Structure 1
Amino acid sequence: MTVDSDAPEAYLGQDAVVDFGRPEISELASGLRSQHTDDVDFARAAFEHVRDNIRHSWDAQDPRVSISASDTLAHGTGLCFAKAHLLAAILRSQGIPTGLCYQRLTDDGATFMLHGLVAVFLNGNWHRQDARGNKPGVDAQFSLGEERLAWPVRRELGERDYNRVFATPSRKVIETLEATNNILDLCRGGLPSDL
């Protein structure tokens, strides 16, 4: 994977999207950290919390638009991008470098959409994690070994991994999310198809 900076500390910042300075995020992160002092255990707990307690907008058929980590936590729902923003915020708030990653996926081999996930820097390496949320056919798990993402990339269909760890969310993704007032409409054909 390529990184925006060789210094993991570059992946600890906050902005309007990964807004971990908000009290509700700090409270959640501190509560999880108090139960898991080891960085790997804490990262796993944060991942499982976001994966299992924040519903994926499409699965829940919830039209609300969540972009920032704090919006996602407040709504309790969001697309993969929003869930990645929340997970990054929780981890960064507790000193674990976390970047944003993307995949280009398809359901039919003709229409493509971006999928968002994170990479965490633990034990001296970057490890991608996908907190999208599990359902029949999707079994994403926290792993520092072999990746256990929601979907494997099928190169024969034109799918691809973007092997870059972004320090900040993709501008294209954020602008697309900001331009809608119904996330379900966006899912029906308005998501970005590439970076």
Structure 2
Amino acid sequence: MELIQEHTELAAYLAADDVVDHDHPLVQETADALWTATGDAYSYAKVAFEFVRDTIPHSADSGDDRVAWRASDVLDTRNGICYAKSHALTALLRARGIPAGLCYQLLGDAEGANPVVHGLVALRLPGSEHWSRVDPRGNKPGVDAQFTLDREQLAFPVRPELGEIDYPGLYVTGHPATLKALQESADRPQLMRNLPTAL
């Protein structure tokens, strides 16, 4: 899928902000530890993806009612929904100079009804001419997202026949609709009610 960059400058996808706060000491410490175990950009990106996917439970799976949205808070609480986990992975990638951005899908239930926006990450390894999407949501029965840059293996391939959408935008920071849901929800049940149904 061809992603449309929000900014033409690649440097924008390396920046830190309140959401993707890779200048935070916890993000830096985590990135340092993961880098020491790898030593090159591809291996680091894969390990960072697996770290977020596998060691930070998706709160809808774990039942954790806390709502984290800032990357450092996601790493600290080891908790978050797809948007929050995507913020954490984006921060870890940028902490090691790998351009990364946020992208989104519109997904429905088994019948395609009750649509909600789902968040994931796109990264661009050094020397690459294209962005690759990966989904750190967290695997479970029926969900098998993998770090495969030559072909996508996302948590949820879209079903266009049911009205599902791969949004083409690539965002430097969280989309305002997703941030509003995260920041205005006191707990996970409220967050589930506040999830955006479109971008």
TM range (shorter): over 0.9
Aligned to 2:172: 167
Q: Please list the CA deviations of residues 68-122 of structure 1 after superposition, one character each: whole Å capped at 9, or x if unmatched.
A: 0011111111000000000000010110000000000010422110000000012
Alignment-mate amino acid for residue 117 of structure 1: L
1:8 touches 1:121 (CA, 8 Å); kept in 2? Answer: no
1:18-37 alignment, distance < 5 Å: 18-37=20-39
1:62 aligned to which of 61, 64, 75: 64
* TM superposition shift of 1:9: 1.6
Task: Give identity over the alignment, percent.
Answer: 46
Which of the two has greater strand per residue?
1
Alignment-mate amino acid for residue 189 of structure 2: L
Partner Cα distance (2:177, 2:44) in 1: 31
TM-score by length of 2: 0.95
2:98 touches 2:123 (CA, 8 Å); kept in 1? Answer: yes
* TM superposition shift of 1:190: 2.3
* TM superposition shift of 1:5: 2.4
Partner Cα distance (2:189, 2:141) in 1: 20
* TM superposition shift of 1:183: 1.4
Alignment-mate amino acid for residue 180 of structure 1: S
Q: Please list the CA deviations of residues 131-180 of structure 1 after superposition, one character each: whole Å capped at 9, or x if unmatched.
A: 00000000000011110100110011110000111111101110111111
Partner Cα distance (1:166, 1:190) in 2: 21
After superposition, the CA RMSD in angstroms is 1.0
4+ residue segments displaced more than 3 Å: none
Partner Cα distance (1:5, 1:160) in 2: 22
Name the SS of the counterpart of 1:70 in structure 2.
helix
Partner Cα distance (2:194, 2:20) in 1: 23
Aligned to 1:116: 119
Aligned to 2:137: 132
Partner Cα distance (1:4, 1:178) in 2: 22
1:10-25 alignment, distance < 5 Å: 10-25=12-27
TM-score by length of 1: 0.96
1:57 touches 1:184 (CA, 8 Å); kept in 2? Answer: no
2:194 aligned to which of 181, 190, 195: 190
Q: Please list the CA deviations of residues 20-43 of structure 1 after superposition, one character each: whole Å capped at 9, or x if unmatched.
A: 111111000011111212111110
Return 5+ residue gaps in structure 1 as ranges: none
